Every structure is written in C-alpha cells, then in structure tokens.
Amino acid sequence: MAEKLLDVKNLRTEFKRDKSWVTAVNDVSFHINKGEILGLVGESGCGKSVTSLSVMRLLPIGTSRVSEGEVFFNGEDILKVDKKKMRKIRGHKISMIFQEPMSSLNPCMRISKQITEAILLHNDLSKDEAYKRAFNVLKSVGIPDPDMTLNSYPHQLSGGMCQRVMIAMAMSCEPNLLIADEPTTALDVTIQAQILSLMEEIKEERDTGILLITHDLGVVAEMCSRVIVMYAGRIVEEAPVRELFESPMHPYTQGLIESVPKLGSDMTSLPSIPGSVPDLSVMPKGCKFAPRCKYAMDICREKEPELVAVPGQEHRCSRCVLHKLEEKEVSKL
C-alpha cells in the first residue's frame, strides 16, 4: 500500500460577498501518495487554485474561510496547527509554485534575497551556503546566468524568467509536497520540457508528492498517475490517467478531452463546451453542469448526483446520473 502524504477530507471553502458567504469549493476529498503526481484539471473558475490555497492556508483573512473539512499532512491536520508551526511547514515541507509570478515576487527585493530568505529560515546554513544553493537551483531550472539573475529585481526579468525563479524558490528547500499551480504557463516549449523533467527527477529522487494544477491535458497525460476533474467547486470525476483518456465517463471530462487538437485530424474546427462556469452566488439547482450538458435530463436539473465509485474499476469515480453505478459513495470507501 502506498503511503499517503496529503489527505484532504470534505473540504469546503467560502468567500464573503456583501453580507453573505458563497461556496467556492464544496465537499472536496482527495489524497496524494508519496512519490505520486496527481493532476487537477478544469476550466478557470472551477476551484482548483482555491483548493490549493486552502491547503496552504493562504486565503485572505476576513473575506474567506475554510468552513468544513480536514487536511492531513503526514497524519497531522494542518488546518488546526497554530500559525507559527504552519510557517515552519509552509515553504519547507510543503512548497507552492504560484500561478502569477510577477505578483508573487516582492518588487522591492533582489531575487537573491527572496530565495535565500526561505533557505536560511528552514535550513542550518550560512549566507554563503544559502547563496550557493540558490545559484544551483536557478541553474537547474534553466536560467543561463544565475549570478546576474540573483542580483536582479523582478521588474528586470521577463515573465518566463520570473516563473522559473518561482519554481526555483519552491524547490530550494526540497519539500515533501510540491503544489504546482500552472507551473509552465509562461514558459516556451523547450523550458517547459526542462521544468517538467526536473519535477519528475525530484519526485524520483526524493519521493516528493506533487499536485499538478493545469489546463494542459498533454502535460497531465505525460506526468500524472491519477487525475481529478473539478467543475463548479466540486470533483466530477477521478481516475487513473490512462483510463481517463481512454474512456472519460463524465460529460464534462468528455468535452475537455474532445476540445484538445489531435495530430492528423481533418477537423476544420475544434468542438467546444457551450456556456461558461456558473457564478458562485447563482449556482443552478441539481447538477451544476446540466445547463451546459447535451445529455441533461429532468432529473439532472432537480437533484445533484453523488460522487460514486465505478463498479469493477479501481480508483475510479464519477458524478453523473447517466452511469448505473452502485450506491456507494466515495467517502465510504
């Protein structure tokens, strides 16, 4: 049996809008094993980044809250630890590559200060040793002149360079769990392949668990062992990567895969999913995907289906009334 590194149970995250609270992540449960890369996919606004920020406890205070759920990291619920202990975990045991590098780096500090600050905080190293580690980790993410980059400010670097700096910062303390939120979005194809290869090496050498949040299904197919598909703040499908691409079960997953261009196809235009992700404050009754689903029936608009296990298929589950599944909720597995 694989050892669980992160175990998220029934996570619910809410944001304050005017005088009420709206739910952005609703009853989300998943786990990541040591040495595993788990893919998290879905359109913008589906709750992927909010899920990761909830795990890291980086949501804005006062306007957001985790109202339900547990997040176990190495067997300890990190939602209940005090701020001091969480600061020791964050950046050391759990690191995150943020989606927006230009807004995540401090514009008033040189890159050397920003990287070595975390290294010195979590490791018993001298300033010279921390600088050397920062130099080496920048070199490992494909930065050609690490010395010049370390002495630069963020505004002096391109978006792609800033993205690589963020990746270097996340990897500098050799975390047990790496949360990568769109880690290769601002990078060209050559550097993207280099970063993905580096993440694969880290997983193999250090048994690091990785949560890979991305829109790129090609990256998911290449990197991940399991995939979770989110829609409107809920998990709608979970499956091993091969099974997901060979036989997607939920109509939303089918739409995502169909919209990917295929080599040698004679199609003049790609299929697309009509409509858009619903607003948090005006969620439709019943299945949240029903207004956009070509298979929607009356029952879909009346009652939201449960996320249930697929009989005879290990580690597969789906949230759709089209499938004649056993009445066995995933939470009871």
Per the listing, tokens 């992540």 go with 25
pLDDT digits (tens, 9 = 90+) for 151-179: 999 999 987 888 889 888 888 888 999 99
The radius of gyration of the chain's CA atoms, rounded to the nearest angstrom, is 21
Which residue intervals of 172-322 are DSSP H helices? 189-206, 217-223, 241-246, 251-258, 298-302
Residues 6+ apart with CB under 8 A from 131: 112, 116, 150
How many angstroms separate the CA atoms of 288 and 124, rounded? Answer: 50
How many angstroms separate the CA atoms of 236 and 229, rounded? Answer: 6
Q: Which of 2-11, 97-106, 144-153, 295-304 has the lowest mean pLDDT?
A: 97-106
Give the predicted TM-score (pTM) of the model.
0.89
Residues 6+ apart with CB under 8 A from 20: 281
Residues 6+ apart with CB under 8 A from 298: none
Q: Look at residue 110 in the predicted model and tell me its pLDDT.
A: 95
pLDDT digits (tens, 9 = 90+) for 179-226: 999 888 767 888 788 888 888 888 888 899 999 999 888 899 999 999
pLDDT digits (tens, 9 = 90+) for 83-111: 999 999 998 899 998 877 777 889 999 99
Residue 8 Cα distances to 31, 162, 220, 256, 333, angstroms:
6, 30, 21, 25, 14
For the record, the structure tokens of 164 come out as 């690589």
Q: 64-73 and 76-77: which strand pairing?
A: antiparallel
How many angstroms separate the CA atoms of 99 and 97, rounded? Answer: 7
Strands (E), the chain: 4-17, 20-33, 37-41, 64-73, 76-77, 94-97, 177-181, 209-213, 226-231, 234-240, 308-309, 317-318
Domain residue limits, the chain: 104-174
